[in-house]
Structure 1
Amino acid sequence: VPETHLPTWNTPQKATFCAAHVPHIDMACAVLQPPSPVEEMFGRRPAEPSAGLAFLPATLDRLATSAADLRRFLARVHFAHETVPGMMPGALYHPTEAFDLAKARYEHVWMPLLASENSASPRKLAAPLDVQWMHHLHRLDPDAYRVDCERAFGRLVDPADPFLVAGDGAPSEDQAAESFARAAWNALAPEWPFDLEDALIDHRRRGGRLPRSRAISFDSSSCDTVGSATRQGGFLWQGLPRET
């Protein structure tokens, strides 16, 4: 924002504000205090600005990177049927066999696995696509996620990497993170296949029964994951490129 657009404070106030909040005057963005209804009715002068925010290039870069990562992740979920044989289009948006199995894999394996990781030196882990999807849906309701984590583990469990995935028949973006995740998964729950295609085959072979789980039980029922999935499907649709 050009300096001429900043509030008309006196020089000492402006200098103090800029020194405390922004490295360059051009990066200042004033947040104005809106006038009250009484002031609007009687024409009183609006209050002076009460705060200022600095939008640093590094912050904008991180935001842009995260937005691009989210879009790629949602697209990978949306088109999972193209890389996972036997999976129907849109199967992860509704309470289908794949959706219910993903939730079970998330609760019985992935969350206990993350909780067992050393929080002081966390590793990057590429979760199976369907499992990462469930983790994403659960965290869209922060209150429910916190309640479920504290009930099961006594603390909040952060994702290893919120958009890093594997096990869906497509190349992983981080081979080391996939290797770490596979090793940790197989050590904790060898009866549960890591790859989504193998998990679906195993689930059908078992007649819908789940493998045994040796890990701590985790329950994500505080969150409406089906509702979250439906809303995310619409969000992705709005963000997809359109033919002009």
Structure 2
Amino acid sequence: MVSPDNVERATVAILEDDPEIRELVTMLLEREGYEVLVFETSKELAAKGVLERIDCLILDLMLPGEDGLTICRSLRGDYPGLPILIVTAKSDPVDRIVGLELGADDYLAKPFNSRELLARLRSILRRTRELTRDRLGEVGTGLAFEGWLLRVDAHELIDPEGHAVALTTGEFDLLHVLASHPQRVLSREFLIDATRGHGATPLDRVIDVQIGRLRRKLGGAVQGTPLIRTVRGDGYVFSPRVKPC
């Protein structure tokens, strides 16, 4: 995700079926320093496991065989924090209103001016940056769950009895990511990127090994559900409710 102080290094996904527009927007954004990911269908977008790490989605409403408004509604339900910029050739203001009501952050009609697209994108990313700063200022440096305390500033985990539990750097980073996104399915690709960087191979099994180690160290369950639950084919879920402290 984009850092609070650097909008231009954000990762932007484009969901657009028109190859000429895809190429045009891709060249425009890459020239401005953005990392750009391009997709033709929502299934392709979801299959790539990038929804958790992109900073904004540029979504075309008029996709073949797909309703962009339905896609927007689905994404907003599963990824409430994902900024969405709708771009479409539809001129009916009703579509704009419906799109915004479904949770889109902004709406741009085709044909659009490249400067306006950049301006709207930057505006969305700045708002996201400001919200991130606010959250970082409010949540403190600890995450509490089921009697456990993850002290981010001190890089340590305290068990319900008050004892420190030894974690490797990789285990700590992984637990921090999991606890920062509780009760959400996190793909292996997202966890790899978040803890090991974009250079790691998607076939890397280190994440699975670290998950196994964390499970042994955490133990326990939430109403019979493991603290770290496997969602077959999709990734992992950190089950407990987490309270910043």
- Normalised by the size of structure 1, how large is the TM-score? 0.22
| TM-score, structure 2 normalization | 0.22
Q: With a CA cutoff of 8 Å and minimum separation of 6, indicate the structure with the bigger relative contact order.
A: 1
Which has the higher Rg, Structure 1 or Structure 2? 1
Bigger strand fraction: 2
